[in-house]
Chains A and B, each alone.
Chain A
């Protein structure tokens, strides 16, 4: 009886997971050991060739490294924007709290592509920003580097992933009992000390969760580099996309995918542990 109930509840989920998670990943894993002929047709077998090419080709590991740097920069940017903003909404804004929070979340309802294209209009040679800068006389020539560069990709990604970072941080701030802050003040700590000693440590789980979100999401982003990137912008997910598309080298693409997957799982594991460690502070 218990068993039927278990399968009734768990069965659909198990089926779903098998069909859309386990099987595809298994296929990607198996495929990464195949080879292709010069026509792009898969040759089953067991070969570590794709992994060898990944490990020895600066194109592949170099791009992965570069992607890491950018994902890190995006995460930092998101955190620097989110922390003060979330702090303000959680502790300072009284009546406008809901409105402000909604304004932050609102962009999530707009399609990614639309937002990326909006940045094209803003950053372009004859875009809103350049026109404005030239109008006020800050520059005489349009700034070339704004669009079709790593800078543009960075700006767009920070814009897109900030809500993902802000939400957990805001939630963490909200959960801090006001009494703790009052106690800190009663004990003579200034605003900055209170933030450093009380608020920040207690919000660490939220910060870690948000940072992980933006880091992992920007690691896998391929649209922003395509739409806003310049001649030097090539991310690991673009290589991945290229291997499954124009290059038609599925084994290498799968190998890149597996490497990326392992890296992401590692990050998630580390961040999970960190979160746990700091949330135990809370209960202590």
Chain B
């Protein structure tokens, strides 16, 4: 027994000495390349990121971890409200970075849950897409609280083997031949879609995020009208993939992730933005108000917004990324999947989500539609 203990101790000691050596090496390499932040300050620290699934993947965090001798820990949330729940239930001091979508970003700023970011420390900030940087929902008193990270559309996904002529309008969803062949996302964003079809996004694009009670009643009518067409309200992207794969549905509201995944499986599934437009989302990197690791958090944002690293994010998530230069590090196929080859086209047609003040009511209407009441 003693022997066993002794050998275990030896192994542990050797390992720790060896790993120290490793860290030292990477440390010197790091200070050479950046030369600005004192690396020793970060060593041994942990950066906690509260994010959507895939936003703290080893494939792009590892190099940073090795460079600074830190650990990056990602905690995933599944919905915007879960983010709020985690952040407000004592999570304000646990997490250093959050990645909210634009339905929550502004609220986080207003609620004082995040803090301004020193843009001078984000060396590549100016190379991020201007359209994304110019969005004002995370700007308060001239200070910027969020750095664009990834973005994408909620667009029309269809099985091109069944639908031979490319659809041009969302009204394709209502066609009698696709009865029981449509899938919608189980989310209040379906209300945005209906609002758009009813023209509530004109003249103000924000109109669909701020609908009045009569408008919501119309939206409900519209979605109830669509209901016989619907086979299933999908909950996860994986579920939508399966619905498409098993030919349960032909048309859906989905993300570029789905055509990308199904193409790899040999299916002819395409996605497009119909003439009425589509809503879209942009996830930002934000720093929590009470973080003890502000410098490290800024170092991470600086690191991950560099073109080469953003390309890796695109590779893992299949989402479009905020740095247009990232496409230089992407294969032609990945550029297409992530729309990085066509960003301007998408920016022109996308109506990016905004904070919905009456979110509770939106949710209630959505539940009423689901219950058929």
Contact = CB atoms under 8 A, between A and B. Distances in A.
A69 B88 CA distance: 38
B284 interface: no
Contact of B81 (A59, A127, A148, A247): A247
Interface stretch (B1-9, B226-234, B314-322, B344-352): B226-234
Given A59-B367, A246-B79, A246-B363, A39 B107 contact: yes
Contacts of B370: 231-232, 234
B372 interface: yes
B111 interface: yes
A242 B365 CA distance: 13
A148 B359 contact: no
Contacts of B359: 38, 40, 247
Interface in A18-74: 36, 38-41, 57-59, 62-63, 66
Contact of A245 (B81, B358, B360, B368): B81
A147 interface: yes
Contacts of B267: none
A58 B373 contact: yes
B246 A242 contact: no
Nearest to A66: B371
Nearest to B85: A248
A148 B231 contact: yes
Interface string A226-245: 10001110100001001001
Given A40-B85, A245-B79, A246-B187, A124 B246 contact: yes
A4 to B, nearest CB: 37
B248 A38 contact: no
B283 to A, nearest CB: 17
B222 to A, nearest CB: 14
B59 to A, nearest CB: 28
Category for how many chain B residues contact A: 20 to 34
Contact of B247 (A126, A230, A232): A126
A171 B347 CA distance: 67
B248 A147 contact: yes
A59 B364 contact: yes
Contacts of A41: 84, 88
A131 B267 CA distance: 21
Nearest to A142: B247
Contacts of A57: 364
Contacts of B188: 246
Contact of A242 (B88, B180, B367): B367
Contact of B373 (A38, A59, A242, A246): A59
B357 A231 contact: no
A276 interface: no
B235 interface: yes
Q: Which of B107, B357, B367 has the most CB of A within 10 A?
A: B367
Contacts of B248: 124-125, 147-148
Contacts of B367: 59, 234, 239, 242, 247
A248 B84 contact: yes
B82 interface: yes
B228 to A, nearest CB: 8
A230 B232 contact: yes
A144 interface: yes
A144 B230 CA distance: 12
Given A39-B107, A126-B246, A231-B227, A62 B85 contact: no
B211 to A, nearest CB: 15
Given A59-B367, A125-B246, A40 B81 contact: yes
Interface in B166-190: 180, 187-188
B267 to A, nearest CB: 13
Contact of B111 (A39, A126, A231): A39
A28 to B, nearest CB: 15
Contacts of A247: 81, 359-360, 363-364, 367
A246 B80 CA distance: 7
A38 B360 contact: yes
Nearest to A124: B246
A103 to B, nearest CB: 29
A239 B368 CA distance: 10
13 contacts: A40-B359, A40-B360, A66-B371, A125-B248, A126-B246, A230-B230, A231-B231, A232-B370, A245-B82, A246-B187, A247-B360, A248-B85, A249-B360
Interface of B: 78-82, 84-85, 88, 107, 111, 180, 187-188, 227, 230-233, 235, 246-248, 357-360, 363-364, 367-368, 370-373
Interface of A: 36, 38-41, 57-59, 62-63, 66, 124-127, 144, 147-148, 226, 230-232, 234, 239, 242, 245-249
Q: Which 5 residue pairs are nearest across A and B when measured between Cβ atoms?
A: A248-B81, A247-B363, A231-B230, A234-B371, A234-B370
